[in-house]
Amino acid sequence: MGLDFSIVPSFAGPLLLGALWTVLLTVVSAVLSFLGGIALAVIALYGPWAIRLPARFIAWLFMGTPLLLQLFLIYFGLVQIGIDLPAFVAGVIGLGLHYAVYNSELIQTAILAVDRGQMEAARTLGLSRPQALVRVVVPQAVRAVVPPIGNNMIALLKDSALVSVIGVAELTLAAQLAIGRTYRAFEFYAAAAVLYYVINLGMEAVLRRIERRIRLSR
Amino acid sequence: MDTDLILKVTPFFLQAAVITVELSVLTVLIGLACGALGAAARLSRHAALRFLGAAYVSVIRGTPALIQLFLLYFGGPQIGIQLDAFSAGVIGLGINIGAYMTETMRGAIVAVDHGQAEAARTLGLSRAQAFRKVVLPQALRLMIRPLGVNINAQIKATALVSAISVIELTYTAQRYIGSTYKPFEMFLLAGVLYLAIITVTGKVIAALDRRVRLP
């Protein structure tokens, strides 16, 4: 069977819908991983040890195991304890948590790099420690790690393909469904690759804008 | 925690872990080869080669590894490339990690102070000699650590080949999650094995880095 790309346009609708789901999945997971990363970083640095140690252990476990394995754990594990989530939600939790751990590592380093004088000055001005942390230290730390977090988000986009294995109807699964009907694997995976590449370019452009904006307001 | 079950399935997980190690070693070797070629192309004097190198990095890093793997394994036969799942996994993931290693290697070579090459040229070495005897030895030292990061990621990325039914660690865990309904136990068991592989690899790389680092 040779190549025949003429069949691809007739599946343009489902593929584009899949691409839309991929974008949605990526954006929601990215936001979760960003906020979760901040929360995990603060817990890992300032939490009481009873929370800090388990959080560090979980982070270590998540950084040392494949995302695919974690997706299986979350998807099947939650069902096991009676929580039957839609695949999309399970996918968002899996991707979001996985990247939250990676973001947390970056943010922790950045928090520690914020000048101590900032915290001291904020305390002198009458802010409590948590207030000083949330309003003075963390915003500066987060600003410093926007570029590497952006890299993580690009990686997240590509890893979002993995949630097709737990049945989330995103771009990869859309391509697979089209292949199931036409047996044209090369054509549709290539089409999916092109769409991923385009989304990737769009995301890089957005990230560059965010980086520029943050730099200007310094 | 069902320890009896864990003990019962451990031998199967260990067998699977061996496959994961094999996959990791082979993909990293292919990745290093692709990375060296890619870096050479990107730093070449010929514009065509530079373009090819840049295109390789951009396309591979701009699309999901899973799609690349599916394209090779399921789409390959349509263009005359017929591979079994294991070979497709090794070649596909090797080409994928090669793009990341290209950038690591290029970064390390570029990071060597330009004065080094200039001094070597002034002392009468040819361009090739200056690169081989002066720049490369320094760059190799610089690239061990970041390549270690690539290799760490690659060990975890071998899990992807479970999607084309290579019976490695993640595939095994997934199958036992499905048949025993004990996701946490199976995750822990597979997780411990992945962590062991990654920790040992990390130690080896750190030792290598210590040995060759300049004072």
Measured over the CA atoms of residue A131, residue A135, residue A139 and residue A140, the dihedral's sign is negative
Residues in chain B within 8 Å Cβ distance of A162: 64, 66, 160
> Is residue A175 a contact partner of residue A188, using CB atoms and an 8 Å limit?
yes
Structure tokens at A135: 């309003």
- Which pLDDT does position A31 carry in this prediction? 96
Instruction: Please indicate whether, in this complex, the C-beta atoms of B194 and A200 are within 8 angstroms of each other.
Output: no
What is the distance between the alpha carbons of residues A186 and B11, in angstroms, rounded to a whole number? 37
Q: Which residues of A touch B71 (CB under 8 A)?
A: 185-186, 189-190, 193
State the pLDDT confidence band at B182, using cuts at 50, 70 and 90: confident
Confidence of residue B100 (pLDDT cuts 50, 70, 90): very high
Check CB contact under 8 Å for B191 and A61: yes
| A218 has pLDDT over 60 | no
Given CB atoms, is A193 within the 8 Å cutoff of chain B? yes
Assign domain B3-212 to its CATH superfamily: MetI-like (1.10.3720.10)
CB-count exposure of residue A61 (10 Å: 0-12, 13-18, 19+): middle
Averaged pLDDT of chain A: 90
Please write the tens of the pLDDT for every residue from B65-99.
Answer: 999 999 999 999 999 999 999 999 999 999 999 99
Instruction: Measure B127 CA to nearest chain A CA, in Å.
Output: 35
Q: What does the angle CA A15 – CA A19 – CA A25 come to, to the nearest 5 degrees?
A: 140
* Buried residues in A136-164 as b, exposed as e (16+ CB within 10 A): bbbeebbebbbebbbebbbbbbbbbbbbb
Closest CA to B152 of A105, A31, A184, A178: A105
- Cβ neighbors of B9 (< 8 A, separation 6 or more) are B176, B180, B186, B189
Are the beta carbons of B66 and A172 separated by less than 8 Å? yes
Cβ neighbors of A68 (< 8 A, separation 6 or more) are A162, A165, B159, B160, B162, B163, B170
Two tokens, residue B93:
């993931």
8 A C-beta contact, residue A80 and residue B181:
yes
Going by CATH, does the domain composed of A9-216 fall within 1.10.3720.10? yes
Task: Output the six-digit token pair for B69.
Answer: 């793997």
Cα–Cα distance, A120 to B19 (Å, whole number): 54
- ipTM surpassing 0.85, yes or no? yes
What tokens appear for A211 in the block?
A: 């980086």
**Whole-Å CA distances, B157 to B89, B108, B169:** 10, 23, 11
Q: What number is the average pLDDT over the span B191-198?
A: 94
- Extended strands (E) in chain B: none
B180 pLDDT above the threshold of 90: no
Query: What tens digit of pLDDT does each residue of A91-123 get?
Result: 999 999 999 999 999 999 999 988 889 989 999
Q: How far apart are CA B67 and CA A58, in angstroms?
A: 29
Q: What are phi and psi of B129, to 5 degrees?
A: -65, -45
Q: What is the pLDDT of residue A80?
A: 77
pLDDT at B104 over 90: yes
**Residue A82's pLDDT is what?**
82
Quick one: B91 exposed, middle or buried, by C-beta within 10 A (0-12, 13-18, 19+)? buried
pLDDT, average across residues A185-194: 94
Q: Which of B151, B144, B153, B150 is nearest to B206 (CA)?
A: B144
A73, B156: Cβ pair inside 8 Å? no
Domain ranges of chain A: 9-216
Mean pLDDT for the stretch of residues B132-143: 91
How remote is the C-alpha of B58 from its chain's centroid? 17
Residues of chain A neighbouring B158 (CB-CB closer than 8 A): 66
Mean pLDDT (whole number) for B129-145: 91
